[in-house]
Structure formats: structure tokens, C-alpha cells
């Protein structure tokens, strides 16, 4: 009964707030992972994007204006990782804050000597546990020119990682996935790339992945959807684990 009621609500939302065909075509042109999907999966993604726009508040700031096509594009990027998981995986938070360009979060911390410091890191995206996702619109648009990069997918991967607590590169795994295998695969890959970087080798993925295990998972997720052939070639075991987690086969 619950599933029937839920499906009825979904159909009603999709019928009342459909994504215009022109906006959907625009999203497909500018979101490569969505464009590569088959017709059935694209239709499912369109429904998810519709529901995402209904459930999440997209909040442009600092004078940024987002039209309907922009909002559909952002929602399409955001829903690619959960195509086979469902929107419930994004439960627990409600808003996406969009800056015109890279931003500096207002953050303070005390060092061991008791000196107060203000954060000065320039960011293109950020995800808060139980809080909003924050994105740079310029970086969203620029990612189309940078193979393997997708700031929206990156931050949404952090949100999936946070479904079982603080982001640590270990999201909630499905019932038939082996936690020991996941840990061994990601740890081995991370350590190998760290060694390669120390030896001056050029890495096959963004070196930012080596900041910590959470960033490694997020960067590998970007690669999985944006440059799957590269990830499968250089980190095949990681690729296979992400296939199981996202329940998708981008190649």
C-alpha cells in the first residue's frame, strides 16, 4: 500500500511539474554522463531530476540568477549518482546554495597555541553533514571542458558518503557488498597512487584525491561517471567496487 501511495505521489509531481522538453535536451547536451545513458535510464533520470527540484531548494546567492534550464541542468548532474539508488539516498538535507564563482567559506578554528584563524581556502564546492551542498556555478559550467571533473557529482558523492556519518570514503554498502573488500581495494589504490606521486609520476586521476579517503572516493566517483574508461584502465578494482555501489555500468 505504501509503495502504491508513493508511486501515485511521484506520478502526480511529474505530471504537475514536468521538465520542459527544451530544458531536458539542454541538460543532456551539457551533462555527458546523462547523455551516454540509454532511453529508459534517461527517462528515469528525468523523473529523479523532477523530484529533486521539488524536494530540494536551489538557492543562488550574491546576485546569481538561475533560470529553469540552469536548474534542470544542476538537478540532472545531481541525480546521476542516484539513478539506481533512489532519491532517498539524499535524505537529511534540503538545500543547494549556488555561488556565481569559487567561494571562500567563513570558517574559524583555534590552533594548538590558542590562536584564532579564519579559513581562506578558495572552493568550488562543499558538502556539510546534515547541511547544504554549496557549489560554484562557474565551476559547474567549466567542468564541461575538463574531462573527468564534475563538481556536482563530487559533492553528491560526499553526501552519499555521509549517509552513515562523517565523510570517510566508506558510504553505506549494499547487503551483498563486502566491507573488507571495499576497504582493501580503496586503501591499496590510495597508497599506490601516493607512492607514485612521491616518485614524481603523473597520476591518472586528480591528485586532490590523495587529500584523504573521503576525497579519494569523491574524485573516483567523478571519474566513474565522467571518464569511466580511464578509471577502469588505471584503477580496475576501484571501478568494479563503484559499479557495485552505484549499480551502474557506464561502459
**For every one of its 251 residues, what pLDDT tens digit does the chain have, with 9 covering 90 and above?**
445 546 767 777 777 888 999 999 999 999 999 999 999 999 999 999 999 999 999 999 999 999 999 999 999 999 999 999 999 999 999 999 999 999 887 655 555 665 544 556 788 999 999 899 999 999 999 977 778 899 999 999 999 999 999 999 999 999 999 999 999 999 999 999 999 999 999 999 999 999 999 999 999 999 999 999 999 999 999 999 999 999 999 99
Please report the pLDDT score of residue 104 as a whole number: 82
Burial readout 147-175 (b: 16 or more C-beta within 10 A, e: otherwise): ebbbbbbbbbbbbbbbeeeebebbbeeee
Say how far apart CA 89 and CA 141 lie, in whole Å.
25
Say how far apart CA 24 and CA 97 lie, in whole Å.
22
Say how far apart CA 86 and CA 24 lie, in whole Å.
19
Ordered by where they begin, the domains of the chain are 16-246 (1.10.472.150)
140 in Cβ contact with 212 (< 8 Å): no
From the list 75, 61, 92, 83, the residue with the least C-alpha distance to 17 is 75
Please report the pLDDT score of residue 143 as a whole number: 75
Amino acid at each position: 500500500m505504501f509503495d502504491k501511495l508513493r508511486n501515485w505521489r511521484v506520478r502526480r509531481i511529474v505530471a504537475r511539474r514536468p521538465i520542459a522538453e527544451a530544458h531536458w535536451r539542454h541538460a543532456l547536451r551539457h551533462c555527458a554522463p546523462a547523455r551516454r545513458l540509454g532511453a529508459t535510464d534517461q527517462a528515469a533520470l528525468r523523473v529523479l531530476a523532477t523530484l529533486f527540484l521539488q524536494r530540494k531548494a536551489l538557492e543562488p546567492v550574491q546576485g546569481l540568477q538561475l533560470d529553469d534550464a540552469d536548474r534542470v541542468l544542476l538537478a540532472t548532474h545531481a541525480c546521476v549518482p542516484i539513478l539506481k539508488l533512489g532519491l532517498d539516498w539524499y535524505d537529511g538535507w534540503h538545500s543547494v546554495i549556488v555561488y556565481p564563482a569559487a567561494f571562500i567559506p567563513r570558517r574559524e578554528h583555534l590552533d594548538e597555541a590558542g590562536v584564532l584563524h579564519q579559513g581562506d581556502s578558495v572552493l568550488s564546492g562543499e558538502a556539510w553533514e546534515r547541511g547544504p551542498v554549496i557549489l560554484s556555478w562557474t565551476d559547474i559550467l567549466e567542468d564541461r571542458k575538463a574531462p573527468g571533473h564534475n563538481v556536482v557529482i563530487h559533492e553528491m558523492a560526499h553526501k552519499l558518503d555521509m549517509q552513515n556519518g562523517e565523510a570517510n570514503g566508506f558510504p553505506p554498502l549494499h547487503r551483498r557488498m563486502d566491507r573488507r573488500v571495499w576497504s582493501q581495494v580503496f586503501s591499496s589504490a590510495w597508497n599506490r597512487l601516493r607512492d607514485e606521486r612521491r616518485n614524481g609520476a603523473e597520476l591518472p586521476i586528480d591528485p586532490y584525491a590523495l587529500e584523504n579517503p573521503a576525497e579519494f572516493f569523491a574524485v573516483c566517483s567523478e571519474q566513474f561517471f565522467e571518464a569511466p574508461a580511464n578509471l577502469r584502465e588505471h584503477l580496475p578494482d576501484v571501478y568494479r567496487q563503484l559499479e557495485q555501489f552505484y549499480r551502474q555500468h557506464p561502459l
